[in-house]
Amino acid sequence: MVLALLGAVAPRARAQGGNPDQGALEFVLPTGARVMGMGQAAVATAVGVDALWWNPALIAHGPREIGGHFAQQSPDKEGSDLSGAIIFPVARLGSFALSYRYFNNGDQDAISRSGQPGIFSTTSSLIGFTFAPILTSRLVGGLTYKLLALSFNCTGVCDATDAVPTTFALDLGAAFRVTNDSLVVVGLALRNVGVPLQVNDSPQADQLPSRGDLGVAIAPRLPQWPDGRVRLAADVVTRLDGGGTPGFRVGAELSFRDRVSARAGYIKDGPPGSGPTVGLGFSTGKLRIDFAQLVTDIGTQTGNKPTYLTLRYIF
C-alpha cells in the first residue's frame, strides 16, 4: 500500500534534518518513470509531465502534451498512486500546466476506543497549477502552486474524523542552458515551501518536507554514433529547514534515434531509500511510454520494488 511506503519514507525524511516531525509526505513521494529510471536525477533533465513534480521550469520550452503516471508503491494490489497533467505552451511566453495526483492508501483494520471493529482508509488529492516563463534565451523559470487535501473514510466504528485537513505549498524552479544547443543544463528547485499541515490542532501541526535541489545535465556529442545520444545527470538535495546530510542522485540515459532508451541510476539517501534504479523508454510517433523500477534498501527490507509507468502524448 502507499501507506506502507509513507511509513518507510518518514524515518528517512527525519534522518535528513533537524525537525523530527514532517507532514504531507505525499509531497516527496517520487513519480515519473523517465526520471525514476535515471535515479531521480531530474532537476536539470526532466521533460514534459515528469518535470512538473521535480522542476517546473523545465516545461517552458516543451511541447503541448498530456500524460499520466501510474505507480505501484508496494507489491500488493491495494492502494493506488495515480497522477495526470496537461501542458499548454504559449509562444515566446512560456508554458502553463494543470496537474492532479491521487493517493489511496487502501483499507486498514481499525478498533475504536469502545473496542468495536471497523475499516479505515485515507485518501489524498494533490492539485497543481504551474507557470514556467521564458526569461531569456538561455534562462527559464517555473512556479507551481500545490494544494493537498486529506480525506479519512470509515466503515463500521473506527473514530475517524470528519475534518478534511488541507495545506498548500509552492515549488520554485529555474534552469540555465550553459550552451546554446543545450548540451549542458544547470537546474535549481525549491520544493514544498508552505504552511504546516494541521490534522488535529495548531500545536500538533507538522512542517512540510521542504527540499532544495541543485543539478546538472550533460549530453555529450557522439560524432561516431550519429543515431545515438547519451544524457548524464547528477543532483544534490537537502532539507531547507537545515540539519541532516544531503542526498545525492545520479543517472544516465542512452537512446537510439530518440525511439528506444535505456536508463540507469543510483539514489543515495532520498525517498524511498538508497539503491539502484533501471528504466526503459519507447517512442512511437507522438506517444511516449516509459517504465522504471527502484531496487532500494527500504524496498529490500519490505519486499517492495516500487514500479512506475508513464504515458505521454504530444499533440
Q: Which CATH architecture has domain 2-314?
A: Beta Barrel (2.40)
Q: How do residues 102-161 score in pLDDT, each as one tens digit?
A: 998 877 776 656 666 767 778 999 999 999 999 999 999 999 999 999 987 776 656 555
What per-residue confidence (pLDDT) applies to 119?
Answer: 76
pLDDT at 153: 76
> Shortest CA distance to 15 belongs to which of 223, 227, 243, 184?
243
User: How far from 59 is each of 33, 50, 129, 307, CA to CA, in Å?
Assistant: 16, 9, 13, 24
pLDDT tens string 291-305 = 999 886 655 555 567
| Contact call for residues 168 and 150 (beta carbons, < 8 A) | no
Beta bridge partners of 264: 252, 278
- Omega of the bond prior to 306 within 30 degrees of 0, cis? no
If we measure between CA atoms, which residue out of 309, 305, 315 comes closest to residue 73? Answer: 305
Q: Which three cell numbers stand for residue 222?
A: 557522439
